[in-house]
Structure 1
Amino acid sequence: MGIKSTKNSRLDPEILEILVQQTGLEREVIIAWQKQFLLACPSGKMGRKDFYKFYRTLRVESDEKVKEIANFIFAAFDRDSNGKIDFTEFLGGYAITSLGDTRAKLEYVFALYDKDKSNSIDRKEMIRVISAMYDLLGKSKSEYPPEKCVEDVFSLIDVNNDKTLTKDEFIDGIMQNPYLSDIVSPFNG
């Protein structure tokens, strides 16, 4: 679903109502977010570079630390995989990852890890994201290396021991071991 707008870039009232229902946000908040989105990206479609610039303004960490995690988040928010994020994709992703229930957040977290869109996560995919999160948070990789962290996560939630995690294994495993959410999700806090 893309943005339908009038000449002055206002959201179509029907789209606005759908976004209110989907996100639970007030109309005024959605309109304010759309204005910010359009300031960052007047075309209404945000590519990876524009998303990085916009996302960087939402974070306090250094540019270098934000860049890699922003790439993963961009891929998770780009639900139709067209290489662009429109306002509805951004707002839906932002609302769910900030305000959504645990299962909805974990679906986005799963998409963050599933870079090849195979509907499963392997250790390499998880190590890449965990490493980027360590960098973002300034966490030492020598104390608890990302590889060891991923090994521990897999040992807890890879129920069939096939060295990959399906979406159900991932979500159910994290929900049964809620402390893991702090380890695997950049959307906490």
Structure 2
Amino acid sequence: MGQEESAAHKEVDLAQIQELCTTFMKECPSGALHLHEFKRIFGIQRESEEESAYIETIFRSFDANQDNTIDFMEYVAALHLVLRGKLEDRLKWSFKVYDTDGNGRLDRREIIYKIKMRNTDYNMTPSEVCDRIFELLDQDKDGQISLTEFLEGAQQDEWVMDVLKLDVNVSGWFIHNRNKDP
């Protein structure tokens, strides 16, 4: 019985992947999703310089082979991470997106930038939110948050988790564009 359920679950996953592939190839006949298409899909038309940089960072995080396109396999990997990935893996991905200078540590500028991009009202200014995050996470008080501090802090405090966890709807764009003519 357990094997039958497992096999049925795999079949559903395979059917979903086949449907995603068909839709992806319809939307991206070249088999590659470029940054300008990625921005269009996420509804970014007239973005600010900050919004553009944020979307580009997300795009680069999905572009595993760094060829400036997202192919179908990279798209499926991103979907799996965002929709079904383990919490720790999603948090590691969030950290990577926030670490805009790529130094492996988050500074106040990167945290404030993330807070502004999220545009959520915490009844505090972005600086106050940042101060609270650093108070809770920066265990060694060096003015930067390491990946370890990020992972431990986010998992220990619900408010921090809410502020720091990156949620991106990367699957909705196929549904949104599914019935449109090219």
Indicate how the Cα distance of structure 1 residues 82 and 144 shifts in structure 2: closer, same or farther if over 3 A, else same: farther
- Partner Cα distance (2:126, 2:22) in 1: 38
Aligned-residue offset at 1:185: 2.1
| Higher Rg of the two aligned structures | 2
> For residues 4-83 of structure 1, what are the structure 2 equivalents within 5 Å?
26-56=13-43, 68=52, 69-83=54-68
Aligned-residue offset at 1:64: 5.7
* SS in structure 1 at match of 2:152: helix
Q: Does 1:99 align with 2:79?
A: no
Q: Which runs of 5+ in 1 are unaligned?
A: 1-19, 57-61
Deviations along 1:64-108, one digit per CA (max 9) or x if unpaired, are: 689555334213222333322222222212221122121011011
- Sequence identity of aligned pairs in percent? 23
Runs of 4+ in 1 over 6 A off after TM superposition: none
Deviations along 1:136-167, one digit per CA (max 9) or x if unpaired, are: xxx358x4222221221111011111111121
Q: Which amino acid aligns with 1:103?
A: E
Indicate how the Cα distance of structure 1 residues 81 and 173 shifts in structure 2: closer, same or farther if over 3 A, else same: farther
| Higher RCO (C-alpha 8 Å, min separation 6) | 2
Confirm or deny: 8 A CA contact 1:98 1:187 kept in the other structure: no
Matched positions, count = 158
In structure 2, the residue matched to 1:169 is: 149
Q: Which runs of 5+ in 2 are unaligned?
A: 1-8, 170-182
Indicate how the Cα distance of structure 1 residues 35 and 78 shifts in structure 2: closer, same or farther if over 3 A, else same: same
Q: Pairwise CA RMSD of aligned residues?
A: 2.9
Q: TM-score, normalised by structure 1?
A: 0.71
